[in-house]
Chains A and B, each alone.
Chain A
Amino acid sequence: MTRFIFILLFILLPFEIHAKAASAIKELEKNGGIISPTSDGGLRIEFQLSGRDLNDEGLEPIKSLESVKILNLRDTKITNAGIIHIEGMKDLKRLHLERTQIDDTCIDHLTGLQELEYLNLYSTKVSDLGLSKLKDLKNLKKLYLWQTKVTNEGVKQLEEALPDLKIVRGIDLDKIVPIKKPPPRPTEDLKWIPSNGEIPPRSISGDNTTIIFHNQMKQKVKIYWVEYNGKLKIYGEIAPGGTREQNTFSTASWLVTDIEGTYLGYFRTSTKVGKALIPKI
């Protein structure tokens, strides 16, 4: 990828700054940056995956790069001081600063980014003061402010200044009401019916329920669901002392065999959660 970026830069930039740009890319990659081309011939630089340790100093080489269209600093250790390095990035269209330590001071360094269309500030300390400084970013189309200190009034003022801007504030998490859990369902002990060597009665489709097997034998057993047509469908093995919870339907038959497949016995389910103790034989 690095080689490709070099070639791209070679075409885009005059020769004398080419070498500087190449070493900047090397540095940024060393600091965990992932650099790729954008479809409009610029650079996309991302630190949110492998570059979360990026600090203010580590971002400095970006000053030598032109045509950076997308920059993602989410979850990095960048602070207001680091944002100085992107002050002159006049081509920048998309900037992710969410979940970083930046605050209103940082916005002072963004006012010259006249091409900026997307700015993500969610989960930062930005407040109305910072918002008021964004008024001159005439191309800004989307601004993300969930979990910040902004108020309705601050947002309203910016919306009036930039009528085409869509501001996303997200939801108030304190208003989330968890789903009410249904009360625990009644349980019953299912009867162990020893095998007479024949396939147990076939299952009949019914309501949802659960069967909980507990293997008290000293040997591994296999469990089979008896299908609606009377055929056996293997559902796996249970180790000695093992437990297995299985979703099933009421009026289903569950056959238990030893590891060789010899029929031992079966259970018939009901609408209640069934406890199926496989006895010591």
Chain B
Amino acid sequence: MLSLNHTRRNFLRSSVGLAGLTVPSLLSLISKAGTKAPKAKSCIVLYTWGGMSHYESFDPKPDAPSDIRGEFKPISTATPGIQFCEHLPLLAKHTEKMAIVRSIHHRHGGHQQGMYVSLTGHDPEGGIKAKSRKSWPSLTSMISKFNEPRAGTPRAIKLPYSMYDNGTLMAGDYGGWLGSAYDPVIMRTPGGEPFQGVTRYTDKALNLELNIEKNRIQDRSSLLTKLDTQLGKKNGNSTEYDQLDRYRQMAADLLLGSPVHDAYNLEKEDQRVRDMYGDHICGQSLLLARRLVEAGVPVVQTLCSAGDLAGGGGDNWDTHRNHFPKMKDRLLPVFDRSVSALLTDLEQRGMLDETLVVFLTDFGRTPKINGNGGRDHHPGVYSVALAGGGIHGGQVYGTSDSRGAEPGSDACSPADFHATIYAALGIDHKAELHDQQGRPFKICDGEPLPIL
């Protein structure tokens, strides 16, 4: 007789190793079977590096005193009762696709710590270091752990550069204890005006613009030889070369007819679509993100600002000085146009219901405007959002208080937000995984918010 349990065991035995799923990740998938079916198959993470002001984006406070509410006015959105900042007029038309969380908070006021808790869902402990295998995996890495793509398709991709603060590479943006195989692959976006400010390119990037014609690629080994000459030798140092090997193998798979290689070529996109996203590295990165998801990449993370905060200047969201002109002239127009183009495009191609779009940032900004016309770091309360991927749009979860200083109702944590994302993707947020030494970790300490 065939009992359900027996069937499940067979499922496990037959699947492990074939689809490349590990037992725990598969278990978590099975435990979801029969419960509510997940809608989202892929995920695009939009990260506003530096800490995006909640006042001048998703949570305007028009009734607060003038030294708190700031210079901008709120505008109505497509959803009655939800207001955005007036400088997000395009995104305001998409609120029916979005669930906005206005009551998220944590207690880390530094960029590294705030970014770590936002991106990993766990509080930083001790001296955290970039690429340390003791760190928690980033959301992007963790999602990729539960999605095994086909050969020639990276598990997770980051665009267009890594996060730095004054020259220091940030921890929490990597595979952590999952191991280096889960570090998202960084790709340079081939187009668009770069963000002003320091944008560091020191990480090894996957270079898909190698001057190799596809029809001249005879086989994998001759391709690898060509890649050796173009990628490897210029480093001249064997350790460097070893690190490149993973990229080299992946590049070979990619160049040999993977849809990802075609997706990387933005020249193949209709020029009008490129214009819709905006001729800016943010817009072109989001366009590339859509193309990569279309090509089967499970998760793509995009930085919507310059890669290095370097003292609070440049096109990043760390607006300690001249906050209002910077937001109005440089940051919000780019964000507004690029992100609304992404949502429009995913919807018209019939991809939005299976693609979860996640809005994340380090923290919010202070209620009081400082002497330099800026707002400082404020983890006390801020806003994040989800769109697409089977979430119920047109809703706001939680409130901040009348000054935008603390949660007013339904306070929640980055861990709760992560649990929500996992649930939307059909990943059991209580799944247990093991690090490379075999130690068990429960992937998330939060509980899903009721917005799915």
Q: Which residues of A contact B (CB under 8 A)?
A: 1-4, 7, 11, 34, 36, 38-40, 49-50, 52, 96, 98, 118, 120, 122, 142, 144, 146, 168-171, 173-174, 176-179, 181, 205-208, 227-228, 233, 236, 246-249
Contact = CB atoms under 8 A, between A and B. Distances in A.
A247 B197 contact: yes
Closest 7 interchain pairs by CB? A170-B348, A173-B272, A39-B37, A144-B350, A120-B350, A208-B196, A178-B275
A247 B15 CA distance: 50
B33 interface: yes
Given A38-B37, A176-B276, A249-B314, 20 more contacts: A3-B14, A4-B11, A4-B15, A4-B18, A39-B32, A49-B150, A49-B153, A49-B296, A52-B259, A120-B350, A122-B350, A146-B349, A173-B270, A176-B273, A205-B313, A233-B166, A233-B167, A247-B196, A247-B198, A247-B199
> B275, B279, B348: which has the most chain A beta carbons within 10 Å?
B348
A168 to B, nearest CB: 6
A179 B278 contact: yes
Given A4-B14, A39-B37, A50 B426 contact: no
Interface of B: 2, 7, 10-11, 14-15, 18-19, 32-34, 37-38, 150, 153, 166-167, 194-199, 202, 259, 270, 272-273, 275-276, 278-280, 295-296, 306, 311-315, 321, 337, 344, 347-350, 353, 426
B348 A171 contact: yes
B87 to A, nearest CB: 15
Nearest to A38: B37
Contacts of B348: 122, 144, 146, 168-171
Nearest to B151: A50
Nearest to A246: B198
B14 A7 contact: yes
A208 B311 contact: no
A247 B194 contact: yes
B313 A208 contact: yes
Contacts of A96: 350
Contacts of A50: 150, 259
Contacts of B197: 208, 247
Contacts, number: 108
Contact of A208 (B275, B314, B353): B314
A72 to B, nearest CB: 10
Contact of B353 (A2, A11, A142): A142
B350 A118 contact: yes
A171 B280 contact: no
Contacts of B167: 233
A64 to B, nearest CB: 21
A181 to B, nearest CB: 7
A168 B273 contact: no
B38 A39 contact: yes
Contacts of A36: 19
A204 B420 CA distance: 43
B311 A249 contact: yes
Nearest to B257: A50
A205 B194 CA distance: 20
B7 A11 contact: yes
Nearest to A49: B296
A206 B313 contact: yes
B276 A171 contact: yes
A144 B273 CA distance: 18
Contact of A122 (B313, B314, B349): B349
> B2, B295, B306, B347: which has the most chain A beta carbons within 10 Å?
B347
B350 A176 contact: no
A248 to B, nearest CB: 7
Contacts of A207: 313
A1 B350 contact: no
B259 A7 contact: no
B313 A168 contact: no
